[in-house]
Each structure stands twice: as C-alpha cells, then as structure tokens.
Structure 1
Amino acid sequence: MQKTYTFLSKSIENILVAIFGLLVIDVVWQVASRYIIGQSSSFTEEFARFSLIWLAVLGAAYINGQKEGHLSMDFLVTKLPPKKQVARKKYIQLFMILFALVVMIIGGGNLVYITLKLGQTSPALHIPLGYVYAIVPVSGLLIIFFCIHRILENEE
C-alpha cells in the first residue's frame, strides 16, 4: 500500500505542476494577446477557468494525502489523551470517507453522467463539460484512498 501511496502522490504532484504551468502560460498569453496584439483569444478565459477547477479539486485530494499539509483545527483533539486522539482521528477519517463517497463520487458521478448524457459542451473549447467535471469523482476516490491509508498507517 505504501508503494501505491508514493506513486499516487508523486503522480498527482506532477499533474498539478503541469496544470499550473499550463495555467500560467494560458494567462500570460491572454494578457499578451489583449494588450500587445489588441485582440483577446477566445479560448483562454475558458481554459483558465477549467484548469483552475482541476487544480483546486485535485489539489485538495493531494493535500489530503499529505500528512502535515492539510489545514485542520486540532485544538480539541490535542487536548485528549493519546489513545482517544487516535480514535478521534480515525472517526475524522471515516467522516471524510463518507463525505467523499456521497458528495464527490456519487454526486460528482451523477453530474458527469448527466452532462455527458445531455451533450453539454463548453462554448469556446467545444469539449464535453463532463470531462471537466470528471475530476470531482476521481478526486473523491483519491481522498478515500488517502484516508484509508492514514487509518491503516495509524494502526501500525
């Protein structure tokens, strides 16, 4: 499981760097085309919006997998005795699994299915919006994997 965790973390990290790099290039091109050429490109705003969606949602899954990177309020947990801290952390991970399953995988999967079935496409790039929204259930699966990994890691 540790090899899978390491592989997924490194892969997601590389994907996030690539998305961020493309976002920067896109925004620089948008500004340059508007002020230097005098005519804005039609696809740059939409591409920036979609890449920011992917960056935020996939980044949330990535940060969830990191041990110390996720923002949390642990004031009440640190006041508990060590045995209760471990149990409370497991409950938190279980609630995160439940959230990712219901909201991200089931809800996000329904959103992807409906937008693909209706044939909704983006106005400028003409790509199916289901492809843009597909990152939500994928990130939900990653969050569940990282939560299970953290629960099993704390048992050792």
Structure 2
Amino acid sequence: MGKAERVFNKISKVLEWFLIVIFALLVFDVLFQVFSRYFIGQSFAWTEEFARFSLIWMTVLGAAYLNAKREHLSMDFLYQKFSEKNKRKASLLIEVLIFLFALIVMVIGGVNLVYTTLHLNQLSGTLQVPLGYIYAIMPFSGFLIMCFSIYHISRIYTNKIPN
C-alpha cells in the first residue's frame, strides 16, 4: 500500500467517524427536543437550530465521503455499454468535472459565502454563532472532494481503479 493510499484511507476513516459523531449528536438533539417538549412541557429553541446545522454539515461532508468511496449517485446505463477504453475516458472526464464543480462552486463560492457572512457579522438566530463558521463546511468539503478526485484520477491513470 502506497503513501497516497494510506493517507486516503486515513482521511476517509476520520471523515467516516466525524459523520458518525454528527449523526449521533443530531439524533440526541432531536430526541432531547421531543422529550423536552412532551415530557417536560418546555421546548428549547436552540435544538431546532442545532439540528439544522448538524444536517447541513452531515449532508455536505457526506457528499465528500461518498465521493471518496465512489458511491455517489450515478446513472450508469450508458456507461456500462462503453468499451473498457471508453469507460476509462468517461471516468477521467467525470472526475475532472467533479473536481471543477468542487473548485468553482464549493471552494470559490463557499469561501465567498464564508467571507461575506463573517464580514457582515451575520449570526444564527438562537445560538448566536457566526454563520460563516457554519458555512465553512462548504469550502472544506469542496477541498476534500478535490483531493479525492485527484486521488481517483491518479488511480484511473495507473489502472488501479475498477470501472
């Protein structure tokens, strides 16, 4: 196992555990919200906002994780009809497009969003957390997707990646 593969596996495992922790916190938060509303008779406003932010982080980081595992949603009816050579070309094209999307939309757009919300001092309604910190997951996840795409492109070039 090469150094790049060890780093890839380590990052994937850390990301996987981070997603598990976020999901556990989300479940705990929602259960606490239900418990407090129906058994204590008091609803805490912060639980809804925390659940929303947790779901945002879990979704965006989950997209990066699925990209790492090459388990993202795809329609491969046409792809399966290609020859092995054309499958390789299509895989390269797909990875380049994923890389460009992550760069332009998630990293550049995400950094702009984070900068704007931090510059304007926008705070969340209940938790009073700067929204730039919440949105920072977008460029971070985009950067991870870009790294995973580079890794996949290198594996496609060396014929180490299954079609």
TM-score (norm 1): 0.97
Q: Deviations over 1:32-65 (max 9, x none)?
A: 0000011101200000000000000000110010
Which runs of structure 2 are paired with 1:73-152 in the superposition (5 Å)?
Answer: 73-152=75-154
Q: Deviations over 1:122-154 (max 9, x none)?
A: 111111000100000001001111111111111
- SS of 2:45's partner is coil
The reply to whether residue 66 of structure 1 matches residue 69 of structure 2 is yes
Name the structure 2 match of 1:55: 58
Runs of 4+ in 1 over 2 A off after TM superposition: none
Aligned pair count reads: 155
- CA distance, structure 2, for counterparts of residue 81 and residue 19 of structure 1: 41
- CA distance, structure 2, for counterparts of residue 153 and residue 83 of structure 1: 15
- CA distance, structure 1, for counterparts of residue 54 and residue 48 of structure 2: 10
- CA distance, structure 1, for counterparts of residue 129 and residue 28 of structure 2: 20
Name the structure 2 match of 1:4: 7
Equivalent residue letter for 2:27: V
Calculate percent identity across the aligned residue pairs.
53
- CA distance, structure 1, for counterparts of residue 80 and residue 39 of structure 2: 55
Equivalent residue letter for 2:120: L
Q: Deviations over 1:83-114 (max 9, x none)?
A: 11101110010011111000000001100000
- CA distance, structure 2, for counterparts of residue 107 and residue 154 of structure 1: 28
- Give 1:31's match in structure 2, choosing from 30, 34, 42: 34
Residue 80 of structure 1 and its aligned partner are, at CA, apart by: 1.2
